[in-house]
Homo-oligomer: A and B are copies of this chain.
Amino acid sequence: MASNLIATDMMTYTPAALGLVGLVFAAGFYAKIKSLPDGNETMNRIAGYIREGSMAFLARQYKVLAVYCVVVAIILGMVLSLYAAGAFVLGAFLSLLAGFVGMKAATYANVRTTQAATTGNKANTLLVALDGGAVMGLSVAGLGMFGMGVIYIVFKGTPEFGQVIHSFAVGASSIAPFARIGGGIYTKAADVGSDIAGKVIENIPEDDPRNPGVIADNVGDNVGDVAGMGADIYESMVAAVVAAMAIALTGTAATMPNLLTTPGGDNRFMGIMLPLLLTAIGLVVSIVGIMITRMLKHLNPAVVLRSALIFPPLILVLVSLVLMPILGVTQNVTLALAVGAIGGALIGLVTDYYTSSTPVAKIAESAKTGAGTALIRGLAVGMESVAIPLFIVVACAFVADRALGLYGIAMAAVGMLAGTAVVMTVDAYGPISDNAGGISEMSGLGKAVRDITDELDSVGNTTAAIGKGFAIGSATLTVIALFSAFNSEINHARQLAGAGELVLVLTDAKVLIGILIGAVLPFMVAAATMLAVGRAAGAIVEEIKRQFREIPGLRELKAEPEPTKIVDIATKAALYEMILPGLIAVLAPPLVGFLLGPAALAGMLAGALAVGATMATFMANAGGAWDNAKKYIEKGKLGEGHLKGSETHKAAVVGDMVGDPFKDTSGPGVAILIKVMSVVSLLIAPLIAMS
């Protein structure tokens, strides 16, 4: 009995402790990056512009978000409890902290990567970018783990636990749409704007130092693909864990019938503990994965990085296979984890196929007859790419449900996200390499340096597809799990109030109405973000044209451009334009829930899931495919007659331009929307249960 207590105690503290381990490694990588040589003065001046622009954006964004957090915290404090308000603030604060630390590291790592490339040592250059990314990866996973672990230690077993952990999740989640969409608008407005002004109008090459938009483009990589992506991945991890916990919390014995080897044990305790514990173990596996990847730096980086993404979830499955009998848990948990791990990998491979294989070659081929056909083909590829990943999710959900009911579906999502730290590391590695290339070009370091950074950048692009597969698959599973957690929560509250069970009937008019409302919201978010990018890019084009017109000697390299003006336009636009889509995500559930009741809200979540999961996949993959079709043409795979400057290439550039907001602003925005709405609904469920 005593040993059991000790084991329970150990389990209680393990998640927070392993979260701290992750943070220690993050600190180590941070120190290592800062100690590296940072190149010559020109490089540092440019890197300084990028760092200042990035940090200035973050500072202004955080001010806006601080207001948001205070308002929501006050509401939560009044409606729920001070604990809830505190947990909300903690969840939000850790998201912002991860973004701040990670992006700071990235803006030190970019110029150091360029410097490493000047030595001609590709393996070491890879390492610098990877270490820079690891700071973000380990901060995100470590802080998320630590936060949930601490809340578990403090509140476990208390009646407030559910409310507090849900509030933490709402804090973690509701930063994401603002950060990801704001960052996404920034990065794509700067990217598209600079491209149009530079390549199309002024006819100068990419990353040319005369183009005042290039600094903003590089800032965008940091605020969008590092900080914004970090908030997204942090929320995914927290949401998946909380979804599983929530089902265990409100579920009855029938919810998880096959969890324990000996029936009658405390399956609620175990059900709450397991997602935390397994995610913490996943973090350790990821740390080991990052260290192994570092050791393999001399191998083909594309293969190494892909393996780094695919293996951690599979290793977690092996750990679970050994651990579950020790904990008195059936191997159904291992089965659910395995389903998630394998499903995530398969989705990643399918995503990879659609964004870098035959379909991409076909898009490139169709660019020969102009932008119209390239666009039609790319849209078709994106639409087609929806089917298999979603069917894989369906299969995962089916098997996981058979194994452990809806709790199993949540655990499959936990399994899919076991490699969160690595996924984020590789995701942040991409923009660091991209920045390194930009700094090299603007500093005039020559082709040899640029070739190294370009190669590392292209590896990052292709491996990012696999990470996206895990992200979209786990999001869909998480939303399904959260959805049933929401239902349990509603009925739990009704039971406490002595009311009858609320059965959500699909043919109820309120549910159907909710489904249609939910179906519309992803389109509203997608439209708002596409328009925002279009508008901001237009403003940037005008400013760049103005500078070329009004700054004498700019075109002849005799005068400097004014990059800070572009940075300012992008910053203001992104901060202003992130608000509407962010508020849709946060406010739609309470509005529909309080006005039309829980049945309509449930319908809304289902409708948003159907449209959001498919639209997000469609947009992400169409965008990725256009991007790579352009690169395919640039590599000369269609022949010499179709290189840069040809009509074919111009047609492909149009596809890439449309694909930019698709894959980096609207698609992720839609994916976040459905997660945030589910988390918020879970929190407000007890409040609307009786209406």
Contact = CB atoms under 8 A, between A and B. Distances in A.
Given A394-B516, A506-B603, A657-B372, A530 B380 contact: yes
A406 B506 CA distance: 13
A518 interface: yes
A216 interface: no
A373 interface: yes
A358 interface: no
Given A523-B384, A609-B515, A610-B515, A369 B531 contact: no
Contacts of A391: 517, 520
A373 B537 contact: yes
Interface stretch (A69-77, A83-91, A448-456, A476-484): A476-484
How many monomers of this protein are in the complex?
A: 2
Contact of A523 (B476, B530, B618): B618
A606 B511 CA distance: 10
A654 B377 CA distance: 13
A653 interface: yes
A658 B380 CA distance: 11
Interface residues of A, number: 79
A318 interface: no
A610 B516 contact: yes
Interface string A595-626: 00000001100110111011000100000000
A386 B610 CA distance: 15
A141 B383 CA distance: 35
Given A483-B507, A513-B397, A520 B390 contact: yes
Tell me the dominant secondary structure on chain A's binding face: helix
B476 A516 contact: yes
Interface string A448-479: 00000000000000000000000000001000
Contact of A383 (B377, B381, B523, B613): B523
Given A372-B192, A509-B398, A611 B383 contact: no
Contacts of A487: 506-507
A392 to B, nearest CB: 10
Interface in A408-449: 409
A585 interface: no
B380 A527 contact: yes
Contact of A377 (B401, B531, B611): B531
Contacts of A196: 369-370, 372-373
B658 A520 contact: no
A258 to B, nearest CB: 15
Nearest to A612: B519
Contacts of A390: 516-517, 519-520
A215 B409 CA distance: 56
Contacts of A531: 377, 380, 384
A507 B506 CA distance: 9
Interface in A610-665: 610-611, 613-614, 618, 653-654, 657-658, 661
A476 B607 CA distance: 14
Contacts of A527: 380-384, 386-387
A398 B534 CA distance: 36
B613 A610 contact: no
**What 8 pairs between A and B have smallest CB-CB spacing?**
A372-B657, A383-B527, A380-B530, A384-B527, A519-B610, A504-B506, A401-B509, A386-B523
Given A373-B657, A386-B523, A515-B610, 18 more contacts: A192-B372, A200-B369, A366-B534, A372-B657, A373-B534, A377-B530, A380-B531, A380-B534, A384-B524, A384-B531, A387-B523, A394-B516, A506-B602, A506-B603, A518-B610, A523-B614, A523-B618, A610-B611
